[in-house]
Structure 1
């Protein structure tokens, strides 16, 4: 849009024309030439003697006089027109300036609305379905949802809507207006630790957006109660799928490899693409959630720390038995390799269908890492420890590759463990193209075909 004339132009125009008027009238000296002055009173009328014929003006003199009067009229017309032009320019400039200011204000408002709309685009279709919510700048894109709406959506937090239970409360299934489903985590009076995890989750998930990381839609603060609202993952957690009533029957070999690949992608984003890097610190099968197509998403960032924070000695030792890396458990040393160790344990769960820690006696437990390590490196024993649900359904070469990756991830010495990026590149060729990898399966097994058709 062209900018209107600068307001500084008006004084210049006025100075120019004010200097022009004296110049035009200086030669005549008669105020009659200027339309801005009233004419002087005429002298008394006296008879003009008629000159004799010999003294009559010549034709040349007459022509000069006529031309002189003609010039006098043209000068008056020019001054009148110039005056009109000055007034017109002043009025036009004022209108243009007013119009420009209004347009600029409207454009700025439109840009702000467009920017806000673009930032809230991903959540808009979902959030618009919720009742009684308002966006808040304090938490970025998150919606602050009224407690009454959450209470109504969960049928007053009915036990029949419980999806799972955590350290500070339960997760409920919520049904909002329009049939929108969401998961509502309710944290009840857990003290400072609960408040810290609540704030941590808001801070991290309020700015993280990735297909393999759970989406946090909103939150609520109601007295001592804190609530978080997430996308609902229809197939629950990996822990429920593997160790629940179905015992992994819905998870084929290729689906399990897809879950491992999705989890590795989520971790790689946290370690390599977040600034500063994020260490999850509590990666486990119960924090890997599965949607209706078994796409995996990492959840529960209450214990996560960002790069630099864990070097200050202010991070409390936390985690889940069986997934905690030995250097963190013994020395409090926390790095991205701690997440890689936990990922290796999850990979063992997917391979063997066993829990990370199993009770052998009332006072004795056995770690899946301790039990599996000697057999993972023995190709003759490896097929026998695979989960019976998927045993003999995969290419043995692929099984050996996955076992080798798992062995590297659970090395006691963190420097021997690979980066999660290296793990990711090792898993991509083992996952079919239709599931997000690069493996081309010529003839899928009947079990895999049945699973694909069920999707």
Structure 2
């Protein structure tokens, strides 16, 4: 029997708990953690747990010819990619699991080494996952615990015994987040020393990892570093009285804008900025948005904080976009220069992923189309000071679902006409995404370009130049550093694919996203 206890480390830690009975599917939790919560100088503790090892559904001492009550195995890797575990007489199945984990984790290990992240890997057999996770949390004081989707039933017990944030995987790149019960005090002003660093290199398309260039940083000292929509109890129902308090009785000072008969107010709730959309009585857009957004959960979609429908009053509440929209950031020269090519490419990947989720991955209710994809409808959420220093949750959010709709609305029977109509609507989103890529590439606003150019649309200006290979004429001239220029060319290829798409050659968001990421096979088909 081998017992292991981990001494406290000067590094901050993130614990990833995975089902050891699964193989590569369980790597989604580690992949998400490296993309979303791990920062430079952290320690990632990977726990592969099997409570049903050797005896089905048993979390008790095992009988394998030797007396084993629990096994902790530390896996060691070599820089050449050949893992070597310390020899232990633990049985053939344990050795097989060790080798399997070494092979599956080797790419993540190399990525961690490259980005100055320490990775510790352990296998535990014979213990329930919550016992192992809680004991490890008590030893290492983690900032986050990330649970494999197969272990979500253990979240409640773990959360009751730890004081950190918990994420539970719902699918690839999608997690349900539960914040720690005591958020840090302070105000909501984002600063450079309250950020988490996240990045992805263009030549590593498999996952995001903490940037080597980012500065080490402290935990955000703000109650709103974690948006309301991701906290316990949200989204929730609000009363008219609560909304009046939030908006100072819906005063003109709190009114941000009026658009298509929808009034948008700003306010403060629980020391956190929020946006309140006020809809006219019996406005179907309210009910459509409420039905859709109450079922949608994605890190890059503006999730609901709450709703209110009392009498003639219809309201939806959202997290406030503290750092403005993508359009505003592109229009301001100083802010645009702080969005280098890799950051713009990262925005393209994340928003493309949110559209793929809406089109292809929504299980509850079916496929959704947004129908209004553009830079004014992408905003940067709170807790972020620049595009190269990204806080949690990831700051790029697709918003404004006033035009969104389900493709299979009310489960109506499909026929050739509805299939064709649905395909056309998805195509509208793909073309909208292509226009968003042009905005990222050129640094221009599609909404304002027509007025500034005598009626010519941004696509009418950019598309002929890109098709003729005059890419330099379209690239944002404010970005002088061309170190990561190749990711801009990925976006150019994807934009051409989106905007050339027609009824005879339709393209899905998965295909577009593969081109944005620079997948060689997808690019070769362009």
TM-score normalized by the length of structure 1: 0.54
Aligned to 2:8: none
Cα displacement string for residues 221-253 of structure 1 (whole angstroms, at most 9, x for unaligned residues): 244332111122221221222236866344222
Shift of 1:384: 2.5
Q: 1:221 to 1:181 in 2, by over 3 A?
A: same
Aligned to 2:352: 264
Gaps of 5+ in 1: 1-110, 130-139, 314-327, 431-455
Distance 1:362 1:141 in 2: 42
**Structure with the greater alpha carbon radius of gyration:** 1
- Superposed, 1:48-127 pairs within 5 Å as 122=178
Q: Which of the two has greater helix per residue? A: 1
Distance 1:420 1:383 in 2: 26
Distance 1:223 1:391 in 2: 56
| Larger RCO of the pair (alpha carbons < 8 Å, separation 6+) | 2
Match of 2:261 among 146, 162, 168: 168
Aligned to 2:134: none
Q: Does 1:304 align with 2:392?
A: no
Distance 1:163 1:207 in 2: 27
Match of 1:181 among 260, 267, 273: 273
Distance 2:466 2:506 in 1: 16
Distance 2:410 2:501 in 1: 20
Aligned to 1:369: 459
Cα displacement string for residues 13-66 of structure 1 (whole angstroms, at most 9, x for unaligned residues): xxxxxxxxxxxxxxxxxxxxxxxxxxxxxxxxxxxxxxxxxxxxxxxxxxxxxx
Aligned to 1:151: 244
Distance 2:407 2:422 in 1: 15
Distance 1:121 1:360 in 2: 41
* Secondary structure in structure 2 of the residue aligned to 1:410: helix
Q: Is the 8 A contact 2:340 2:479 kept in 1?
A: yes
* Secondary structure in structure 1 of the residue aligned to 2:500: coil
* Secondary structure in structure 1 of the residue aligned to 2:461: helix
Match of 1:406 among 495, 498, 506: 495
Shift of 1:332: 9.5
Gaps of 5+ in 2: 1-152, 161-165, 169-175, 183-222, 224-232, 388-394, 414-419, 520-526
Distance 1:378 1:182 in 2: 45
Aligned to 2:284: 196
Match of 1:212 among 275, 282, 300: 300
Distance 2:482 2:258 in 1: 34
Q: Does 1:355 align with 2:455?
A: no
Match of 2:339 among 245, 251, 258: 251
Q: Which of the two has greater strand per residue? A: 2
Runs of 4+ in 1 over 6 A off after TM superposition: 117-121, 123-126, 310-313, 359-363
What's the RMSD between the two structures over aligned residues?
3.9
Distance 1:408 1:240 in 2: 26
- Superposed, 1:230-249 pairs within 5 Å as 230-243=318-331, 248-249=336-337
Cα displacement string for residues 177-230 of structure 1 (whole angstroms, at most 9, x for unaligned residues): 3x132222222x2x55xx211001110111111111111011112443321111
Distance 2:289 2:310 in 1: 17
In the alignment of these two chains, the number of paired residues is 286
TM-score normalized by the length of structure 2: 0.47
Q: 1:359 to 1:215 in 2, by over 3 A?
A: closer
